[in-house]
Every structure is written in structure tokens, then in C-alpha cells.
Amino acid sequence: MGKRKSRRRKQYYDPIESLKPTRLDPALEQVARELYEKACCGSKKHGPEIDSGSEFKKDSAVWKKFFSAAHNGMRAAQDHIIDRVQSGSTMSGSEQLLYRDISDSIAYQFLGGQLCHARRLFLGHKQPNLKQSNFESVVATARSIVDKSPDAMPLLSDLTTFVQVGDILSFDPERRLSIIEVKEGAVNQRISSFLNFYEESRCDRALGYFLASEGPHTANQMQRMMRQIKRMEHVKEVIASGKSVDPDTGLNIHIPEEFIPVGDWNEELNTLLQQSGEHGWAFDVIDDCLFVACYADGLMLPDSHLAFNMWFEYCGGTPECPRARMMDSMHVPLALPVFLRSITAEDMFDLLFGRKQIYMGLNIEALIKKCEKAGLIVRPGTNRETSRINQAGAKPYRHDGKSIFIGNGRNEMVLMDGIFLRAFFHGQKPVSIIESYLSADNFT
């Protein structure tokens, strides 16, 4: 395999074409509402029984009742998607986006909405076509899991945009989160059986005999399976303890146990949605650098992207500054689905079906000034530093051709797309994101 290109692709920007309004097929709205209720609201009837998070965890009866209802709804939503895939008829682009966003919503609920855990499941690959060869086997395995554990929710990884470790991400109230790999074929069965034996015996002589008798093709397949096993163990270890060594990069991964608060702009978002409904449009600037505008049904809506681009540029936004529509979250892996944003259900469906549009732009020069005003140290990266980051496969953002390093005198980080992902699609304030990274005691 050749080296992955690390240079950040320069984004094409045209004020007339960029950020054009987008929506799902209006014919899907009723289906979308039903899937949302099943996948995200199955346990809401038990809400009054949950007094607090701590009491909820101590009351096993309420705990089981909550997850049983939630998982029952999630399974119903996934069954609808599976039936649609197995029907054999062609799915529209809107359908695929909707189904993947619903599946992502289920996955993020498993993970408590934590991007740090979701990242461990994402390998940067393109998700396979839903009509892939082993889909039926994965479905059968998922159903057998439910037969054995009726309260479990086995999510098919390939239905999501970002779960790329294991074929099934399963959550069981008793056993918690597990990752399952489904293997077909006689060769895979022989390898799996031998690996189980080797795990117990550690007999290198048996390993040598097995590889010699099976041949190079089986040896290569065994190596792939062992890498998959290591990756699954790594993810489970990170989620369970917050610590592990990444089997692909060899880097130590550490997610601090202490809670580090990150400011969000959920309140501002809801205000924008409400004001746009009243006046047709509304805008705000978060942290003096994140520009957000919302437009509602009316004369401005068809060309609302032009209005936003003009406003953003008038306020100092350059063609290189990151910008996005909230609807882009439907095809950006690791973005928090619209269904899980802290907004009303009606606002969700107004966004999904084009009755409202939300645009966002991050003014990098203003972000730098805001960071400096907050007492942070901002400097351009040297060519050597930037080259080292590129060689590691990362993609630092470049401002005036230079990478940007931000520090607090104790820790330092480079500005990358992850900040934009959190700001745009997880509703976090840019400077607060940076401060939270730098304040971690075990900063890496």
C-alpha cells in the first residue's frame, strides 16, 4: 500500500455555487419522522422515572426498563432499513443519507455522544455499498444476538458513516458495549478456530504447522484478521479505561477521566431558529469568530447561501476560511447527526427538508485574535514542523501558507480539521474547544 497523501486539499470556493441550499426528498418526511421516533425517542415514556443520572444507574429495574424500551425502538428503526436494503429496489441518494444518519444517531447514543470514542471506530475508509456480499450473514448474526439477549441492540456497522471496526456494534444493558466480527467461508472458519486454539495454547509449533499447511493466502488473511482483532480490542480498551496503544500508529491514546467542560452554542442556535421563523432570517457571531446564519421559508431562502457568503466576506471571511451548511453533517463522518442536536423536533425536520437553512463560517484571523485575547500563544509553524505533521498522515490547516500552533505555556497543539468538525457539527465554541484540549493534564 502506498503512502497516504497528507497535503490538505485546497477547497474550491465560488460565492454563487458554494453552500447552495440542500434538502432531503420531501416524500421521505413521514418515514424520517417515524424512524426518528423509533431510533431516538423509544425510552422517552420512562423519562419521569429518572430523577438523576446517579439514581438511574443505581436502580437496576429502571435501568433495564429504559434500555429495553430504547433498544426496542432502535431495532424497529434498523429493521425498517434492513427491509429496504433487502427489497432489491434502488435507493435514492436521499434515502441513503437518511438511513445512515439514523444509524449514526444510534451509534452516537451508544457512545454517549462522545466524539473521542467515535474517532476510535473510524478508519478513514469509504463505507461499503449496503448490498455487499456478507450483508445477509451480518443481519442473521444480529438477529441471533437478539434471540439470546432480547434487550440487546446489535447495530450493523455498515449502515453508519463512521463505524468501521467490526461488523456489529452491539449494546447490551448487562454486557454493555461489544464489537463483533462476522466471518464467512471455510477458510475464515479455520482461521478463527485456530486463533481461538492459539489464544489458549500459545503453541508456536502448531502455528508454524498451520501456516505451512494452509499456504500464503491463508497466512495473509490471518494477518488481516489479527489486525482486526487488535483494533477491536483497542477500541474496547479505550472506551472502558480511556487508555490504550493504537495498533495502527503505535501512539499512546489517553482520554482523561476528569470532566473538562466545553462551551456550546446550543442556546444561540435555538435563538437563531426561532428568530428566523419570525423574521425570515437571523445571524450571530460565536466567540467573535464563528459566523452562523439561519434562513427560513420565504423569498430569501433560495439564494440564502449568497446572502451568507456576502455577509461572511464583508466581516473578513476569506475563500480559505472553513464554511459549511448544517445539512453537511449528513455526509461528514463523525459529525453529530441532526437528530441528536439540541433543537426541537420541528426545527430538525425544517432543516432536513429545506424549510430552513443554517450556514456556518469560521474566520481564522478572528479566531487567532480571540485566542490571543484569551491569553493563548499563537505562532506559525516552521516548515520542518509542518512537514513532520504531514509525514504522520495528519492535515494541519494552513493560514497564509503556514500551519498554526496554539499553546498555553504548558501545552501546544496545531490547528486541524477536528476543531472545525467540533465547532460546526458538534455545536462547540471554537476557543473553548482549544482551551479544553490544552488544559488536559495528560495532554498528548
Q: For position 258, what pLDDT does the model report?
A: 56
Average model confidence (pLDDT) across the chain = 85
Is the Cα torsion angle 235, 239, 240, 245 positive or negative in sign?
Answer: positive
What's the gap between Cα 402 and its chain centre? 28
Choice between 259 and 204, residue whose per-residue pLDDT is larger: 204
At 32, the amino acid letter reads A
Please tell me the distance from the alpha carbon of residue 263 to that of residue 284, in angstroms, as a whole number. Answer: 16
Q: For position 1, what pLDDT does the model report?
A: 37
Choice between 125 and 282, residue whose per-residue pLDDT is larger: 282
Q: Is the pLDDT of residue 246 over 90?
A: no
Burial class for 81, CB neighbours closer than 10 Å (0-12, 13-18, 19+): buried
Q: Is the pLDDT of residue 196 over 90?
A: no
Q: Is the pLDDT of residue 137 over 70?
A: yes
Percentage of the residues of the chain whose pLDDT score is greater than 90? 58
Q: For position 44, what pLDDT does the model report?
A: 73
4, 248 Cβ separation under 8 angstroms:
no
Grid cell, residue 294, equals 439561519
- Binned at pLDDT 50, 70 and 90, residue 221 comes out as low
Burial class for 31, CB neighbours closer than 10 Å (0-12, 13-18, 19+): middle
Choice between 337 and 237, residue whose per-residue pLDDT is larger: 337
The model's pLDDT over 34-61, given as tens digits with 9 standing for 90+, comes to: 999 999 998 776 566 565 555 555 666 7
Choice between 127 and 323, residue whose per-residue pLDDT is larger: 323
Query: Which spans in 59-152 are helix H?
Result: 60-86, 93-110, 115-121, 135-148
Q: For position 158, what pLDDT does the model report?
A: 94
Helix (H) or strand (E) holding 413, with range, is strand 412-414
135, 158 Cβ separation under 8 angstroms:
yes
Q: Is the pLDDT of residue 282 over 90?
A: yes
Q: For position 441, what pLDDT does the model report?
A: 56
The model's pLDDT over 352-368, given as tens digits with 9 standing for 90+, comes to: 999 999 999 999 999 99
How many residues would you count in the chain?
444
pTM of the model: 0.85
- At residue 43, the 3 state secondary structure works out as coil
Q: For position 67, what pLDDT does the model report?
A: 87
Give how far Cα 402 sits from Cα of 328, 387, 395, 406, 415, Å.
Answer: 27, 11, 12, 13, 11
Q: Is the pLDDT of residue 7 over 50?
A: no
Average pLDDT over residues 10-31: 89
The Cα diameter of the chain in Å comes to: 76
Please tell me the distance from the alpha carbon of residue 77 to that of residue 72, in angstroms, as a whole number. Answer: 9
Q: For position 391, what pLDDT does the model report?
A: 83
Please tell me the distance from the alpha carbon of residue 102 to that of residue 91, in angstroms, as a whole number. Answer: 15
Q: Is the pLDDT of residue 125 over 90?
A: no
- Binned at pLDDT 50, 70 and 90, residue 65 comes out as confident
Q: For position 444, what pLDDT does the model report?
A: 42
- Binned at pLDDT 50, 70 and 90, residue 3 comes out as very low
98, 23 Cβ separation under 8 angstroms:
no
Q: For position 222, what pLDDT does the model report?
A: 63
DSSP state of 49: G
The model's pLDDT over 402-429, given as tens digits with 9 standing for 90+, comes to: 999 999 999 999 999 999 999 999 999 9
| Angle at CA of residue 137, ends 133 and 141, nearest 5° | 155
Please tell me the distance from the alpha carbon of residue 275 to that of residue 278, in angstroms, as a whole number. Answer: 5
Q: Is the pLDDT of residue 442 over 60?
A: no
Q: For position 2, what pLDDT does the model report?
A: 41
Q: For position 240, what pLDDT does the model report?
A: 60
Helix (H) or strand (E) holding 357, with range, is strand 356-362
Please tell me the distance from the alpha carbon of residue 69 to that of residue 46, in angstroms, as a whole number. Answer: 8
Q: Is the pLDDT of residue 268 over 90?
A: yes
Q: For position 279, what pLDDT does the model report?
A: 92
Grid cell, residue 200, equals 489458549
DSSP state of 358: E
Q: For position 428, what pLDDT does the model report?
A: 97
Average pLDDT over residues 389-414: 90
